Amino acid sequence: MFTGIITDIGTVRTIEKRGDTRFVLGTAFDMDTVAIGASIACSGACLTVVEKGRDGDGAWFAADASAETLSKTTLGGWTPGWRINLERALKVGDELGGHIVSGHVDGVGTVAATREEGDSVRWLFTVPDALKAFIAPKGSVAVDGVSLTVNEVENDSFGVNIIPHTAEHTTFGTLRVGDDVNLEVDPLARYVARLLEVRG
């Protein structure tokens, strides 16, 4: 489990196509404190550390992604040099600064528009039809792993505000209109929808 509070911006170093796809990701994390088998959210997708190390370019870890993961997330479009949001798994007793995030991406959205609002930037995202019902004003959503509060919802789109601190410490600083993003809806919304379906 994660909180959607990004603690590092990593970089894709290499990509190796095998039975699955292996990503080697550069990070500022102290990998001596990260165990093999640990989970790290990579732009919202929970991946398992299968190798780790340090070289002249700094610390790194390797993670494998299945064809299913590549097809249901933005990972299939990653290339060497790609910047990614990183978050280590939540420990019992840690501060819960965002909301509960599982690292299981529900779908891929697209940046539709941006506009400046004071010192912040309003971002508008379009979402797949299957996710529209799970996004509500003042609810929570994870965009590329970043916990955000939904400002407004209209048809197949929703808006959020990004303050300068968030833009500086996540990949929102380099995100552009037309880019795809990983979306994870609030798990509570899924449970409520399922309960209504069963009772209906």
Predicted confidence (pLDDT) per residue in 42-54, tens digit: 999 999 999 999 9
181 in any annotated domain: yes
* Mean pLDDT, residues 48-65: 97
Q: In the structure, what pLDDT confidence band is assigned to residue 98 with cuts at 50, 70 and 90?
A: confident
Residues 81 and 120 in one domain: no
Residue 96: pLDDT over 90: no
Residues 60 and 142 in one domain: no
What is the percent of the chain where pLDDT is above 70?
Answer: 100
Q: In the structure, what pLDDT confidence band is assigned to residue 200 with cuts at 50, 70 and 90?
A: low
Structure-model confidence comparison of residues 147 and 97, the more confident one: 147
169 in any annotated domain: yes
97 in any annotated domain: no
Residues 161 and 193 in one domain: yes
Structure-model confidence comparison of residues 99 and 182, the more confident one: 182
φ, ψ at 132 (rounded to 5°): -55, -40
Residue that finishes a domain, picked among 23, 55, 88: 88
State the chain's mean pLDDT as an integer: 94
- Would you state the pLDDT for residue 93? 76
Residues 135 and 167 in one domain: yes
* Mean pLDDT, residues 173-180: 97
Residues 76 and 111 in one domain: no
Residue 28: pLDDT over 90: yes
Residues 112 and 78 in one domain: no
95 in any annotated domain: no
Supply the pTM of this predicted model. 0.93
Residues 117 and 83 in one domain: no
Rg over CA atoms, the chain? 17
Residue 49: domain span:
8-88
27 in any annotated domain: yes
Residues 80 and 144 in one domain: no
Residue 173: pLDDT over 80: yes
Structure-model confidence comparison of residues 58 and 197, the more confident one: 58
Residue 10: pLDDT over 90: yes
- CATH number of the domain bearing residue 123: 2.40.30.20
Residue 131: pLDDT over 90: yes
48 in any annotated domain: yes
Residue that finishes a domain, picked among 40, 56, 88: 88
What residues contact 80, with CB distance under 8 A and at least 6 apart? 12, 13, 14, 15
186 in any annotated domain: yes
28-47 in b/e form (b: 16+ CB < 10 A) is ebebeebeeeebbbbbbbbb
Q: For the chain, how many structural domains are there in total? A: 2
**H or E element that contains 25:** strand 21-27
80 in any annotated domain: yes
Closest CA to 37 of 52, 22, 26: 52
Residues 22 and 82 in one domain: yes
